[in-house]
Structure 1
Amino acid sequence: MQLVKAGLCAFGMSGKVFHAPFLKEHPGFFISAVVERSKEESKEKYPEAAIYRSVEEMLQHADLELVIINTPVQTHYEYAKKALEAGKNIIVEKPFSVNVSEAEELVQLAEEKGLFLSVYQNRRFDRDFLQVQKILHDKKIGNIKEAEIRFDRFRTTPSGKQHKESPDQLGSGSLHDLGAHLVDQAVQYFGYPEKLFADVFSMKGKEFANDYFEILLFYKNDLRVRLKTSVFSKEGHYAYTIHGDRGSFLQERTDNQENELVAGAIPVYGKEWTQPLKEPDGILNLLNDQSETERSLTSSEAGNYMNYYQQIYEHIVFGYALPSPGREVIQNMKIIDASLESAKEERVIKL
């Protein structure tokens, strides 16, 4: 099996939870380098990886084919550009960048260099996302008229992470953080909207970056899709609510990969590795061919972030389709930028 040498630009939560475990367990990858500015925590689990004290040092000295840009979003543009200029293929953590212009420049540079740029949209591999995708594909609930996708939390106190919570930092706040997932899911399900209206602000106060948003997406076929998040949601909602002209589907956000990885779970290549559901996580209510109501509980199948890296590997080795390519995710960035504009100007923005 061809071996792809990879380097991590940081070894914080993203590196420890979302990237290193999958690179380690996938037989086609080798973690060749890790950037740790002062610590050497990666040595315990990844002793074969050389430790560098800066991204620049790693790019200059490490033998790498793939670089994962998993630093704070405010540094994505700088490090992604340096990696591309060094001739490396790159994966950029979400959110892609702080604005569209940066994203477009990086994609253009990658294309000029003949390199690939993928954005780590891992929620496409969540069990709940995949279950909704399956329901939509089956078309049992008919033509979709209305949908809502939520990602709520109860985090009423500051985390202390300035790059995520300071209103003075471009790219900070929930719109770039969770919005990068919700916008991506909406576009994957329903395509690119015609226009939008957004409400974006901070429930914790003006001294913090936005922690609440509600985005209403308008589609040409009169479909309305609402995206929403709040950090003052003690009682949960259904994460996905889909209404069609023959029924409705409600889906909980039940993917637990992140929590299991944080707790020490080791992903397994080629098979399911997460804990099974203890009870159904969805409700399907529809009219059958006799116009009779059929209501049933549904259970989603396991998701697996390993499939993202499998697709990356297959792209490198076999030339298969690249998962979440940068040019595709630019469309998400346009929606995020337009949402900020809409909230500021209190008007509908055409896309």
Structure 2
Amino acid sequence: MTRVGLLGYGIAGRVFHAPLISSTEGMDLVAIVTANPERQAQARAAHPDAKIVTADELFELDLDLIVVGTPNRTHVEYARKAIDKGVAVVVDKPFAPSSAEGEELVAAAQAKGVPLTVFQNRRWDSDFLTVRKIIGRLGEVRRFESRYERWVPEIWDNWREFGAPEEAGGLLYDLGAHLVDQALQLFGPVSSVYAELDQRRPGAQVDDDVFVALTHKNGVRSHLWAGAHTAQHGPRFRVLGSEGAFVISGLDEQEDALDAGRRPTDANWGYETRSGQLGVLDQTIEVPVELGAYETFYTELQAGRIPVDPTSAVQALRVIEAAFTSARENRVVEL
């Protein structure tokens, strides 16, 4: 059995990592770190065989895998401790507050021969898997549009809303880490970045309205949006090609399913009734979404494969950093 220790039991740990680890054959969630009494009670109820420990205690345990699902400011510190201990490590997104720190982690892991990966679970969203499947039917892709939009008019009392740079808060680091990663997965490296970042909600300390335009080296243009104050949501994806387009709305349902207690081992896991439209103008056909498959991340890891190359997360961080520069200086940034 692969003995797993989980750092953090907020949304990342409680909703994603703990359920997925526990559902993966051959993995044993043996320890969870959270100092919050309410979360400790939740963890004990959901995972009674796992010990509730401190971070220092976790690093003293005999573990095969450490998962870092803590606030962004601690990702590098805990990942480096796992690497120094010689234990395989999963780091939640964003990988690090900066590409330089991400590069240092990759180099350290390579030097020690320690497996290192990043939890980019949205690569296994149902709608993204559908885009990957049908994109060859669009001819030459010219423009890719992608959105994560929410209506959260009140500011949360949460580190994601804190403005200190070390927190790596705001939507560009949070949802933008997924948006940029998906665009890079589909269309490859970027030659230039333009961004508009705003703070729309009264009292906001971080970006809560994001637009990023990427020009990929192959000529495709990706337009990416994220918003916390978006009263009407646009399509999740719109992909425009020389021979047709694909449009799909709504969001992948796996997060809500996990939060509600469903697991990948349940019948019909990942199934949705959503569909997209493929074609030209009113000459379209309905395309059912693919099955969502978040469980693939940990099943791949258990099989000895790296599900997400950490260097791809470093590349995404470089794009995010360029977006911050673009918005601050009101210019296109060349990469």
Query: What TM-score, normalized to structure 1?
Result: 0.90
Q: Which amino acid in the other structure matches residue 89 of structure 2?
A: I
- 2:297 pairs with one of 292, 301, 308: 308
Q: Distance in 1 between matches of 2:90 and 2:128?
A: 21
Query: What TM-score, normalized to structure 2?
Result: 0.94
Deviation at 1:185, TM superposition (A): 0.4
1:185 matched to 2:182: yes
1:33-112 superposed matches below 5 A: 33-39=31-37, 40-41=40-41, 42-53=43-54, 55-60=55-60, 62-112=61-111
CA deviations on 1:267-316 (whole Å, 9 max, x unpaired) are 318x7424x433x42011149xxxxx84111111211211111111112x
CA deviations on 1:221-246 (whole Å, 9 max, x unpaired) are 43211111112222221111111111
Deviation at 1:153, TM superposition (A): 0.5
CA deviations on 1:49-86 (whole Å, 9 max, x unpaired) are 22212x122102x1101000000001101111111111
1:98-177 superposed matches below 5 A: 98-136=97-135, 139-161=136-158, 163-170=159-166, 171-177=168-174
Q: CA RMSD in A?
A: 1.7
Could you tell me which runs of 5 or more consecutive residues in structure 2 were left unpaired when the two chains were aligned: none
SS, match of residue 278 in structure 2: strand
Q: Classify 1:133/1:176 alpha carbon distance in 2 versus 1 (closer, same or farther; 3 Å).
A: same
Deviation at 1:251, TM superposition (A): 1.6
Q: Distance in 2 between matches of 1:185 and 1:148?
A: 11
- 2:222 pairs with one of 211, 214, 225: 225
Deviation at 1:207, TM superposition (A): 4.2
Question: Contact 1:32–1:63 at 8 Å: present in 2 too?
Answer: no
Could you tell me which runs of 5 or more consecutive residues in structure 1 were left unpaired when the two chains were aligned: 288-292
- 2:272 pairs with one of 264, 269, 277: 277
Question: Contact 1:197–1:349 at 8 Å: present in 2 too?
Answer: yes
Instruction: State the aligned residue count.
Output: 331
Q: Paired residue for 2:13?
A: 15
Q: Paired residue for 1:323?
A: 307
SS, match of residue 68 in structure 1: strand
Q: Which amino acid in the other structure matches residue 64 of structure 1?
A: L
Q: Distance in 2 between matches of 1:36 and 1:154?
A: 29
SS, match of residue 182 in structure 2: helix
Q: Classify 1:129/1:95 alpha carbon distance in 2 versus 1 (closer, same or farther; 3 Å).
A: same
Is the deviation greater in 202-211 or in 91-100? Answer: 202-211
Question: Contact 2:201–2:229 at 8 Å: present in 1 too?
Answer: no
Q: Which amino acid in the other structure matches residue 72 of structure 1?
A: P
Percent identical residues:
33
